[in-house]
Structure 1
């Protein structure tokens, strides 16, 4: 049976550039072999909803019409990957906006945008806001492993791909009971991603209710309070940085005027 939009499938892939440079892989050994291993990442086959934009557009579209068991190469042009490179999507900022002098290649956040330091000239840094893969053609060696049929597995997959967190799921009638790991509510990706996951569950599955359950015990109270203290400390630091950036930006505007 041909794969169609809305199907839940499990895939594996290796992504590379036209020169053969491997940039991403679902297989841990492949990632290690090519020097892109991330100890914080979870490796293995991933479950996605075809047509939901959970992989780059070109790969998403190419999966439609394929059969389970398909194994082959998919070439994705820039406009269906991370877009064309825009030479105007850059900004010159003062190095005083950073805690330490930035270095070329460093990832930085300016306001609500993330960019890469292109170069530093004196007290000014040129920040490139293009995606690092903008303008690149991507080549995927992909395999469609299976069609995911179990509803609980579908719910679990949606939470992982949207939050990066593994959850336990039980489905009763039309209710999905999702057991959330302790501390998940302190993770920014979960706080935001859970809404996308739930929206997608209602969109594709015959589920009328999603209950999120987070269990705590008295013995765990100390670690919970320590985690909360750490979160508050990070929030205070972020607030301090934002105020500092606003003040420095104001000083820059005065210099220009």
Structure 2
């Protein structure tokens, strides 16, 4: 049975581009391939990538191929720019004054990835007064060789919610608990590690948006499990014991 719109599928992929007589890996979710290609990112989590068919931001060529595949299948194909990252656009190479970059705290170094105005680009060249920043996707305008494998499909609500949580939060799925009481209502328990995440409110908003649009969840009871230190637990226990010893006196006065 082929994959259809709305299915939660897990894929492995390698995207390469031709450079002369050889192929250069531009992107992959496979750790061993990333290391051998010299593009390994220690801050990235290398594992099967979640795609919600028809709803995820994957290139058109991958979306089309997935509709003809099933779990366990592999394919290799070429994606032209119109079904990948689009044509290369000269108007997306922007000239910015060096003084402006300095105000942003960005060193004008050729090859450096920078974020300006919410967009990520690469500094292509630098003159005495200006830096030229390329905001095209690094693979724009290129024919791509894609190696694609469907490694799994998520069937249960619990698994789907857990994968959506870890899309936005770098935590172990084993620490996430999901339970459903009524249709459209879930209880989501998360570990205390999330309290230390930057932009937690934004992460939660994105997660809630996905739960609503992709799984039609209407209500979420969010619980953060916090482990108290031994000193706090001892203090809490003593406080409860002290309160308990006062209850008989209060009852006696009322009598």
Flag whether TM exceeds 0.5 (same fold).
yes
Find the counterpart in structure 2 of residue 170 from structure 1.
Answer: 178
Three-state SS of the structure 2 residue aligned to 1:18 is: strand
User: 1:56-135 to 2 correspondence within 5 Å?
Assistant: 56-97=59-100, 98=102, 99=105, 101-135=107-141
Find the counterpart in structure 2 of residue 214 from structure 1.
Answer: 224
Aligned counterpart in structure 2 of residue 180 of structure 1, from 190, 193, 196: 190
Larger Rg: 2
Find the counterpart in structure 1 of residue 51 from structure 2.
Answer: 48
Q: 1:136 to 1:70 in 2, by over 3 A?
A: same
State yes or no: 1:161 paired with 2:167.
Answer: yes
In the alignment, the residues of structure 2 paired with residue 151 and residue 29 of structure 1 have an alpha-carbon distance, to the nearest angstrom, of 31
Structure 2: gaps spanning 5 or more residues: 231-255
For residues 200-227 of structure 1, what are the alpha-carbon distances to aligned partners after superposition, in whole Å with 9 as ceiling and x for unaligned?
Answer: 323343643223322334439xxxxxxx
Q: 1:181 to 1:21 in 2, by over 3 A?
A: farther
**What is the alpha-carbon root mean square deviation over aligned residues?**
2.6
In the alignment, the residues of structure 1 paired with residue 214 and residue 119 of structure 2 have an alpha-carbon distance, to the nearest angstrom, of 32
Aligned counterpart in structure 2 of residue 205 of structure 1, from 215, 239, 246: 215
Q: CA deviation at 1:176?
A: 2.7
Find the counterpart in structure 2 of residue 23 from structure 1.
Answer: 26
Find the counterpart in structure 1 of residue 249 from structure 2.
Answer: none
CA contact (8 A) 1:56 1:80 kept: yes
CA contact (8 A) 1:9 1:47 kept: yes
CA contact (8 A) 2:161 2:178 kept: no
Q: CA deviation at 1:101?
A: 4.2
Q: 1:51 to 1:164 in 2, by over 3 A?
A: farther
In the alignment, the residues of structure 2 paired with residue 126 and residue 26 of structure 1 have an alpha-carbon distance, to the nearest angstrom, of 30
Three-state SS of the structure 1 residue aligned to 2:91 is: coil
- Extract structure 1 runs of 4+ deviating beyond 4 A: 162-167
My pick for the range that moved more, 69-78 or 184-193, is 184-193
State yes or no: 1:9 paired with 2:35.
Answer: no
In the alignment, the residues of structure 1 paired with residue 39 and residue 64 of structure 2 have an alpha-carbon distance, to the nearest angstrom, of 26
State yes or no: 1:141 paired with 2:151.
Answer: no
CA contact (8 A) 1:18 1:138 kept: yes
Three-state SS of the structure 1 residue aligned to 2:12 is: strand
TM-score (norm 2): 0.75
Q: Aligned residue pairs: how many?
A: 221
In the alignment, the residues of structure 2 paired with residue 101 and residue 205 of structure 1 have an alpha-carbon distance, to the nearest angstrom, of 43
In the alignment, the residues of structure 2 paired with residue 156 and residue 184 of structure 1 have an alpha-carbon distance, to the nearest angstrom, of 14
For residues 11-41 of structure 1, what are the alpha-carbon distances to aligned partners after superposition, in whole Å with 9 as ceiling and x for unaligned?
Answer: 1122211341112222222221111111111
Find the counterpart in structure 1 of residue 241 from structure 2.
Answer: none
In the alignment, the residues of structure 2 paired with residue 145 and residue 33 of structure 1 have an alpha-carbon distance, to the nearest angstrom, of 22
Q: CA deviation at 1:3?
A: 0.7
Structure 1: gaps spanning 5 or more residues: 221-257
TM-score (norm 1): 0.75
